[in-house]
Structure 1
């Protein structure tokens, strides 16, 4: 929920959603682009992990585009709407509901949302039915790879979050202390071992897998500013390194026809929720899948902000001139 002073005062970032990734003073927004940045700067060829492990028996086939589409257009859209629809009504009555009304762009009625929970459970049941055949073979991941891929990660996150939020776990933090946590098995009538044995086995196998991975996370005390000074001393990327690699270069004329050229003032905002909180700045570079701007607002750090073009709208600010 707003306010988020760390993002706004440090990076001049009005973007509403999380996570946000900082690699030096290059700031990456939206999970879809964050993943590609991590894959680019920390490649498997140098010993890092990957969310695109090789496809069993067909290493030359690149399934990356299909998995990215699965994550962006299935788990992050209709499946997410179903799990979000399971949020307890008391959460919508808190300041979280007020905040999300601003994010979505219209008022929210807690009682009406509560009445839709059975429909959202039915929608979840539909998604699980579509997914179950993929996991009919014991020990299978979403894509036949030796280790989980982005498909497994994105699907697991939505299911884990949906199960927990429907039960009332974590709602105290979600609502900013506006309502308390609970333990109510809401999703169990739909997602259980008897109804979906393949998905159930996969779900718990994935949890076992991630429990074996090292946890490199370090929590920095809120009072510490050392990380800000570290970022301040980090050089910005060279022009040729700015965009994550893509299959093709930027189209030679389409962006120019819309006035999207280096140096112009633009706004960038999601195409679904959060449209009323665009990030405005000077266009630094634009590619077929990514746009980079330097925020107009002053902040503690001089940064460049990277957005994916998928799921975002980039517009020239009215009256802007080079």
Structure 2
């Protein structure tokens, strides 16, 4: 198997979710740091447009969105499982809630002035302004929850997590599952990146104890890799064949068609390519880039839209 290459940056909450899963599964991986804001030319040479963090690369296969990355890591290292059979549905539902509603409230709370001052300590004003503009563009102009509304919502959500932890070490039982990693990463940002605001966690000691257990998992065995080395890896590799995978057609678009895939709610930059697979759970596009060569870019179905490319 080719090396696991994670394209991320240290303060990314969703990257922390994947870094901890790599640690949980005791996997070795290579780290490529990417910019926090656009442009991200080395990353988009691989993805064709998708810019959210993190992205997992295995040879010439590029996996977008943490929901799909979790599935890929589970396939590569089934033990310990992220999806215990008896909890599979519940774990996925909690994960989806955590990655959307909980994340939105937590980050709106974290980015009030006291949090911004800590996150951007030492950053020139123009750097802060560029970040704010970048994230506004990712929201496509949608309003962000106010910090006061976010605080009330976040407190309510923390109480729900505490209730889930009552009498057990992890949210759905004695061992961590995918839901734990999804719930942890927005709270990690509060605790580690905006400690001036971390007092909100004090009212839920069960949550703080669980966070200590999650942090202790660690990040596995990371190694360094440059963006150029990652691009060379893609160019010198061949994507894994998707021939024989069951085609599930929901759009009336034939395999081999030129299509566009984009997220449906945040970070809407499109990726265009040839539709190579549309399975029950994911899409695969083939695209060729001067720097990356021919790659397969994979997306989960949930949270992404598929349409024919303009003629």
The TM-score bracket by the shorter chain reads 0.7 to 0.9
Find out whether 1:187 has 2:198 as its counterpart. yes
1:6-155 aligned within 5 A: 6-9=42-45, 11-44=46-79, 49-52=80-83, 54=84, 61-72=85-96, 74-86=97-109, 87-89=111-113, 94-106=129-141, 116-137=146-167, 139-145=168-174, 147-155=175-183
Deviation at 1:14, TM superposition (A): 0.8
Between Structure 1 and Structure 2, the one with more strand by share is: 2
Equivalent residues of 2:256, 2:274 under 8 A apart: yes
Two-structure CA RMSD over aligned residues (Å) = 2.5
Q: Secondary structure at the match of 1:70?
A: helix
Relative to structure 1, the CA distance from residue 165 to residue 120 in structure 2 (aligned partners, 3 Å threshold; closer, same or farther) is: farther
Contact 1:280 1:296 in 2 (8 A): no
For the pair 1:310 / 2:295, whether they are aligned, the reply is no
For the Cα contact (< 8 Å) 1:14–1:279, is it kept in 2? yes
Cross-structure match for 1:163? 191
Matches of 1:314 and 1:135, distance apart in 2: 38
The equivalent residue for 1:171 is: none
Verify: 1:217 aligned to 2:222, yes or no: yes
Alpha-carbon deviations, 1:49-74, whole Å to 9, x = none? 4323x5xxxxxx432232122112x1
Per-residue CA deviation, residues 216-255 of structure 1 (Å, 9 max, x unaligned), is 1012245xx44443443333212348x6xxxxx554xx53
Are the structure 2 counterparts of residues 314 and 107 from structure 1 closer, same or farther at C-alpha, using a change threshold of 3 Å? Answer: closer
Higher relative contact order (CA 8 A, sep 6+): 2
The unaligned stretches of length 5 or more in structure 1 are 55-60, 168-183, 244-248
The one-character-per-residue Cα deviations of 1:128-187 (angstroms, maximum 9, x if unpaired) are: 1222221121x5211113x311111111112111334444xxxxxxxxxxxxxxxx2x23
Structure 1 residues 196 and 282: CA distance shift in structure 2, 3 A = same
1:4 maps to 40
Contact 1:232 1:301 in 2 (8 A): yes
TM-score, with normalisation over the residues of structure 1?
Answer: 0.73
Cα gap change, 1:316 to 1:296, in 2 (>3 Å): farther
| Contact 2:43/2:51 (<8 A) preserved | no
Bigger Rg over Cα: 1
Q: d(CA) in 2 for partners of 1:107 and 1:67?
A: 29
Q: CA deviation at 1:107?
A: 7.7
**Alignment: residue pair count:** 263
Q: TM-score, normalised by structure 2?
A: 0.76
